[in-house]
Amino acid sequence: MAAISTCFFFTVRPTNTQSIVFSRKSFVLKPSRIHSQGLRYRSKRRSSVNFVRASGLVESDNVPSDVRKRAMEAVDALGKRVTVGDVASKAGLQLTQAQKALQALASDTNGFLEVSDEGDVLYVFPKDYRSNLTAKSFRMKIEPLLEKAKLAGEYLVRVSFGTALIASIVIVYTTIIAILSSRSEEDNRGRRGRSYDSGFSFYLSPTDLFWYWDPYYYRRRRVREESGGMNFIESVFSFVFGDGDPNQEIEEERWKLIGKYISSNGGVVAAEELAPFLDVETPNKTDDESYILPVLLRFDGQPEVDEEGNILYRFPSLQRTAAPQRSVRKEYVGKRWTDWVGQVERFLQEKKLQFSKTSSSERALVIGLGGLNLFGVIVLGTMLKNMTVSPSNFISFVSEIFPLLQIYAGSFFTIPLIRWFLVRKRNGEIERRNRAREQYARALERPNVSLRRKLLSARDMAQRTFIGQERIVYSTDKDLYEQDYDAQQWEQRFREIEKSE
């Protein structure tokens, strides 16, 4: 393998507004690996470490919040000394996303870079890098507040829709009573008494209507949700609109599983090994492996052909790590293979959608009140059309907002009906995808002769390289003259190795 032993001048460019310049007097590097890490080298010597940044600029603010959070979680989980491949596989990020996030975080938190004897670039972060970043970034300070405001706004919509049902019932039946009373003053008291003493009752806590006066209501509501409870106001919204998509974060989970599986298997896999995590609805009966293309693009993979003509896929960036792991052992190919390697899930399983999380009694109460409201709106509409007396101010006001009451009463049952059909359709699709992934997973547990030989070939080609401190030949955290002495010692050892060969 070609190597270069000379003086290099490197420029790491995390963003357009900053650069990290450092030099190395003498060590072996692979130019291809340098370019893959975003480094540029020149045969030129430099004797200083120079950080160039725009004043007051926080580079991490230019990274999407989701990418930054996932990268930081991966950094914490991997011990704060990572490669780009480590973060990409752990967080399920694209290599370019992981690299940009690491460069920005290192720039903002006084992190430093290490370069191995083969040109691998490692990012090392201090223990308090999170607090350093939060102190600098106004965006990170307000993000928790914005998230709380978003959750509070969403909950406000939920309780408002439920409260509207109670308000609609009160307005509709109060108007009906007012119209009847205007027709006959003699029957007013009797009708009013019968209206309010009809025996109908339902449970409605005052705190459900006035939740915004209670500063601890939101916290108690979350406790109820975790224990499976739901108050009446929330159950109305749940019945009409549902409770959200349980697979909202399925893509993030998918890429985390794929990245973990590839790295655990030494960076070389067969297409059949990744099928249990992808959306291949029916087991492939042909040699078409185009479904693996998104994985190659995300983790910079490349196809390779083994001695037997099998097509395998290598991911070089996921083969080099700063986190020591167990070696890949080919005798585990077959049953329980995925259970042994890194405890990776057997296959990606989507959750089925629920029509509503409400209990049967809560649903019956909501349907009953919705039906009562719809019946009242129909009756009121007829009465407003046949009015012969001059309406009062209240009745005139109700006449003006009556179209809104009709829309609310009609959508109360129309939306759930449409949603019921959509939920059934989507659950059927989810079940088919889950069944196909499980079939691929079972095929890996009990592979036929052809697939077993393919898996064994992939394990033979696997390579997992741990980059320890003994392989670091340059660090931006050390003085250049100190590293010059280390470099001379390393170069002497390298020459001895060359002579022995």
Tokens of 493: 């050892």
- Tracing tokens 């940009």 back to the chain, one arrives at 100
Write the CA distances from 282 to 429, 433, 436, 437, integer angstroms: 12, 8, 5, 8
CA angle (22, 108, 145) in 5-degree steps: 165
- CA atoms of 78 and 125, how far apart (whole Å): 11
The type of residue at 102 is L
- pLDDT the model gives residue 192: 44
- pLDDT the model gives residue 318: 93
Of residues 407, 400, 397, 398, the one with CA closest to residue 374? 407
3-state secondary structure labels for all residues of 207-262: HHHCHHHCCCHHHHHHHHHHCCCCCHHHHHHHHHHCCCCCCCCHHHHHHHHHHHHH
- pLDDT the model gives residue 178: 87
- pLDDT the model gives residue 373: 95
- Tracing tokens 């889950």 back to the chain, one arrives at 434
3-state secondary structure labels for all residues of 471-486: HEEEECCCCHHHHHHH
- pLDDT the model gives residue 198: 38
- pLDDT the model gives residue 437: 92
Q: Which domains does the chain have, with CATH numbers?
A: 4-136+468-500 (1.10.10), 142-245+355-418 (no CATH), 250-314+328-351+434-461 (no CATH)
Write the CA distances from 51 to 59, 129, 384, 395, 434, integer angstroms: 13, 18, 76, 73, 50
pLDDT digits over 362-395, tens only?
899 999 999 999 999 999 999 988 877 677 788 8
- pLDDT the model gives residue 190: 46
Residues of the chain with pLDDT under 50: 1-55, 186-224, 226-227, 327-343, 485
The backbone torsions φ and ψ at residue 467, rounded to the nearest 5 degrees and listed phi first, read -105, 95
Contact 296, 311 (CB under 8 A): no
- pLDDT the model gives residue 234: 85
- pLDDT the model gives residue 304: 94
Contact 322, 83 (CB under 8 A): yes
Report DSSP state, residue 367: H
- pLDDT the model gives residue 143: 87
Residue environment code for 291-323, b if the CB has 16+ CB neighbours within 10 A, otherwise e: ebeebeebbbbeeeebeeebebbbbbbbbbbbe
The type of residue at 150 is K
- pLDDT the model gives residue 335: 41
